[in-house]
Amino acid sequence: MDISIVIPTYNELNVLLECLKSLESQDISNFEVIIVDDGSIDDTIKLASDFRSKNYTLEVIKQDHKGPGSARNLGSKKAKGEILVFVDADMTFENDFLRKLVNPIKKGEAKGTFSKDEYVSNWENNWARCWNINEGWEAKKRHPKVYPSEQKVFRAILKKEFDRVGGFTPGGYNDDWSLSEKLGYLATLSDNAKLYHKNPSSLKEVFLHAKWVGKRDYKYGILGKVFALIRSSLPISLIIGFYKFIVSKESTFVVFKIVYDFGVFCGIILSIFSKNLAK
C-alpha cells in the first residue's frame, strides 16, 4: 500500500457519496481510504459502510465529536500507506489528482505537498460566491490570486514525517496549520493536481461554519477575541457588507455578511463561556 487517504466526516450524507465515487475513478489503484466519522447524527456512517469500491479498500472508524484534526490523527494511526493524503468529504477530483499530488514525494523532491488547483464546485450558488468575496479569494477558486508555491496546509505528506511530530494539534478551525508549525517546514506545490471543493451553500451552512471559525484560538488571547467580537458586531458587518456589495455587485452579500459575522460572534462567546466553565 503506497497511499492512505484520510477523510474526516461530520453529517456529510449529502456529499460523501460523490467524493467516494470520484476517488473510484482515479488512474491509480494502490491506495486505501479511511473514513473517520466524527460523531455524525445523520446516516453518514451507513452510507460509508455500505459503499463498495473496485479501485481501493475502504475502512470506516467512529469517534465522538472532537473535530477534524483529531479525526485525521485517528485515521492516520490506522493507515498502512507510506504517504498520507488528507481530503474533505465535500471534495471531488480529476482522475489524475492523486498521482499528480504525490508525484513530488515519490520522486524524493518533497516530504509533503499541496495543490493550487482547488476550484469551487458550486459556483452557481450565490452564498458560495459570497463566501469567496468574504475570504478575498479569486473567482471560482478557493485561494487568493497571488498564492505562494509553499504553504502551511498539507494535502499529502510522508507518514513517517507526520508520525515524527505526533500529527495535528486539535484546536478547531486552524488545526491543519499546526502540522507545518511542528514540522518546521511548508508544503510544496504539486502542479495540476485538480480538485473541486464546495463552499457553504445555504445561510444555515454559512452560520454553522462561521461559528466553528469563531471558536478558534486567537493570536492575542482574550484581547484578540475582544477585537474579533468588535469586528463581527452588527455595525461593522453592515459597513463591510455594503462596501463589498458595491464592489462585487453581489446583491445578497449584505445578508451573507450579517449571518457570517453573527456566526463568528456566537462562536467566540461560546468559546469564552466553555473555557470559563472548564475552570
pLDDT(267) > 60:
yes
Residue that finishes a domain, picked among 197, 231, 251: 197
Query: pLDDT tens digits, residue range 173-209?
Result: 778 889 999 999 999 999 999 999 999 999 999 999 9
Same domain for 147 and 115: yes
Residue ranges of alpha helices (H) inside 173-252 are: 178-183, 203-214, 221-231, 234-248
- Residue 273 burial (10 A CB sphere; 0-12, 13-18, 19+): exposed
pLDDT(146) > 70:
yes
Provide, rounded to the nearest whole percent, the portion of the chain with pLDDT above 70.
98
**Structural domain count of the chain:** 2
pLDDT(277) > 70:
no
Which of helix, strand or coil describes residue 7?
Answer: strand
Per-residue confidence (pLDDT) for residue 220, from 0 to 100: 76
Same domain for 151 and 84: yes
The rounded distance, in Å, linking the Cα atoms of 2 and 20 is 18
Taking the CA atoms of residue 254, residue 68, residue 160 and residue 56 in that order, the dihedral angle to the nearest 10 degrees is -100
Cell of residue 10, nine digits: 461530520
Same domain for 107 and 25: yes
The rounded distance, in Å, linking the Cα atoms of 97 and 115 is 9
Same domain for 171 and 36: yes
Cell of residue 18, nine digits: 460523490
Residues 6+ apart with CB under 8 A from 223: none
Same domain for 142 and 50: yes
- For the chain, give me the number of helices (H) and strands (E)? 11, 11
Provide, rounded to the nearest whole percent, the portion of the chain with pLDDT above 90.
87
Residue that finishes a domain, picked among 197, 223, 254: 197
* Residue whose C-alpha is closest to residue 42's, from 17, 21, 68: 17
Per-residue confidence (pLDDT) for residue 278, from 0 to 100: 47
Same domain for 127 and 238: no
Cell of residue 189, nine digits: 506545490
pLDDT(2) > 90:
yes
* Residue whose C-alpha is closest to residue 6's, from 28, 26, 27, 32: 32
Same domain for 46 and 184: yes
Per-residue confidence (pLDDT) for residue 275, from 0 to 100: 59
Same domain for 81 and 60: yes
Sequence letter at residue 162: F
Same domain for 22 and 153: yes
- 252 or 222, which is more confident? 252
pLDDT(252) > 60:
yes
Question: Which band of pLDDT confidence, cut at 50, 70 and 90, is reported for residue 217?
Answer: confident
* Residue whose C-alpha is closest to residue 88's, from 6, 179, 17: 6
Lowest mean pLDDT among 12-21, 164-173, 194-203: 164-173
Residue that finishes a domain, picked among 156, 175, 197: 197
Query: pLDDT tens digits, residue range 45-72?
Result: 999 999 999 999 999 999 999 999 999 9
The rounded distance, in Å, linking the Cα atoms of 10 and 154 is 21
pLDDT, average across residues 237-260: 97
Task: For residue 73, give its domain range.
Answer: 3-197
Same domain for 163 and 84: yes
CATH (domain of 10): 3.90.550.10
Q: Are 38 and 66 in contact (CB under 8 A)?
A: yes
Same domain for 268 and 139: no
pLDDT, average across residues 255-275: 92
Question: Which band of pLDDT confidence, cut at 50, 70 and 90, is reported for residue 170?
Answer: confident
Same domain for 149 and 82: yes
